[in-house]
Amino acid sequence: MYAQMIKSEATEDDPQRLAEFQARIDAGEKIEPKDWMPEGYRKTLIRQIGQHAHSEIVGQLPEGNWITRAPTLERKTNLLAKVQDEAGHGLYLYCAAETLGVSRDEMTEMLLDGRMKYSSIFNYPTLTWADMGAVGWLVDGAAIMNQVPLQRTSYGPYARSMVRICKEESFHQRQGFHIMMAMVKGTEAQKRMAQDALNRMWFPALMMFGPSDKDSVHSSQSMAWKIKMNTNDELRQKFVDETKPQADYLGLTIPDENLKWNEETGHYDYTEPDWNEFFEVIKGNGPCNADRIEARQKAWNEGAWVRDAMMAHAEKKRGAKANGAAQ
Ligand code: BYC
């Protein structure tokens, strides 16, 4: 199915239809699954929504790592709920992508063989409990910054899935900040753990927004189609501007000597992340890429019997229905 789509994308779309389609987007109309759409639009959405879904699913791994070691029962139930929410987000997003003619199985295979990506951030390890705070505060904080505007994206099923996801991400961000507050109010050692988590997560969190605008391949077309509502740098700047006062409130230092308020621009100046590191991570060479894919491959292999059983059950039901109809 996906291969067919790529093939048909090579055929030129009718300019008249393209213009009508763009006019609908410009007028703020939502595009729905059965509407005509250019193949490039469909393919870009599958790539972005699929990558987003995979990020939610792979994103469970670094946090799942801490469920059994959460310091209190309350922290454990909160973390468990957060990780479950992420599984739910992955499912809504896979469903949204499926409305575009790709199956969840195909997307999973593309994740496992490297044809589809997931967010770079999940290729970093979570070494201490403070990382659960930093992930909630910074990673979910960055995710919300990116996803709130996507509630207005042009593709109906994607926009609608974002509404619920954003509500849940806000809770995640708050619970992460709450963990950080507890850590900074704790012992000196706990405060050091919180600072260490911020030191390690800061630049990877900035990378979540994607490469700088000059290196972004897809931004201009995706923004014209309202698949993206802002550029990568716009959202990164917004994140820095909102997060710096939160770090001050926590009494923590963002690990960037160049982070300074700029009166002229009305924004913080900051150091860009190491883009070589980013491109290495998305090529598969980050600290945890191999572990993450291995864990997903294992889950896929071990779930094969469930998928087979469900197919056999559906087949049996179809057979029983056909027999009933024949009698
Ligand atoms: N990681 O042209 P560009 C979350 C790739 S997690 C990996 O700017 P685009 C959460 C990009 O795919 C957040 N790859 O791309 C879950 C492209 O390569 P391909 C997930 C990245 O798509 C659990 C190339 O770099 N959120 O929510 O216009 C717990 C050039 O980039 C990354 C979403 O997915 C990256 N960070 O813009 C907590 C939101 N950045 O595909 C939280 C929806 C770029 O040509 N997605 N690349 O091989 C988006 O908004 C956009 O896809 C991005 C990238 C801003 C991420």
Ligand 1 in reach of 96 Cβ (< 6 A): no
233, burial (CB in 10 Å: exposed 0-12, middle 13-18, buried 19+): middle
- pLDDT, residue 271, reads 98
Q: Is the pLDDT of residue 238 over 60?
A: yes
Task: Choose among 172, 163, 164: nearest CA to 141.
Answer: 172
- pLDDT, residue 182, reads 97
Lowest model confidence (mean pLDDT) among 2-16, 58-72, 272-286, 300-314: 2-16
pTM over 0.85, yes/no: yes
Distance CA 140, CA 246 (A): 14
What atom in ligand 1 is closest to the CA of residue 135? Answer: 38
Distance CA 50, CA 127 (A): 28
Distance CA 19, CA 26 (A): 10
Choice from 217, 226, 235 to test ligand 1 binding pocket (greatest atom count within 8 A of CB): 217
Nearest CA to ligand 1 atom 49: 48
DSSP structural state of residue 70: -
A 10 A CB-CB count for 140 gives: 25
Two tokens, residue 232: 């990568």
Q: Is the pLDDT of residue 3 over 60?
A: no
Task: Choose among 10, 29, 46, 43: nearest CA to 226.
Answer: 29
Report the separation in Å between the CA atom of 102 and the middle of ligand 1, taken as the mean of its atom positions.
Answer: 19
The average pLDDT across 282-310 equals: 97
Ligand 1 in reach of 216 Cβ (< 6 A): yes
Distance CA 90, CA 205 (A): 20
The DSSP secondary structure of 115-147, one letter per residue, reads: SS---GGGGS---STHHHHHIIIIIIHHHHHHH
More confident site: 40 or 326 = 40
DSSP structural state of residue 150: H
A 10 A CB-CB count for 8 gives: 12
Report the separation in Å between the CA atom of 59 and the middle of ligand 1, taken as the mean of its atom positions.
Answer: 13
What is the pLDDT of the chain when averaged over all its residues?
Answer: 94
Distance CA 165, CA 294 (A): 27
Confidence of residue 196 (pLDDT cuts 50, 70, 90): very high
Two tokens, residue 191: 């405060």
Distance CA 157, CA 179 (A): 33
Percent of the chain with pLDDT over 70: 96
- pLDDT, residue 2, reads 47
Task: Choose among 153, 149, 145: nearest CA to 170.
Answer: 145
207, 121 contact by CB (below 8 A): yes
More confident site: 200 or 4 = 200
Nearest CA to ligand 1 atom 10: 56
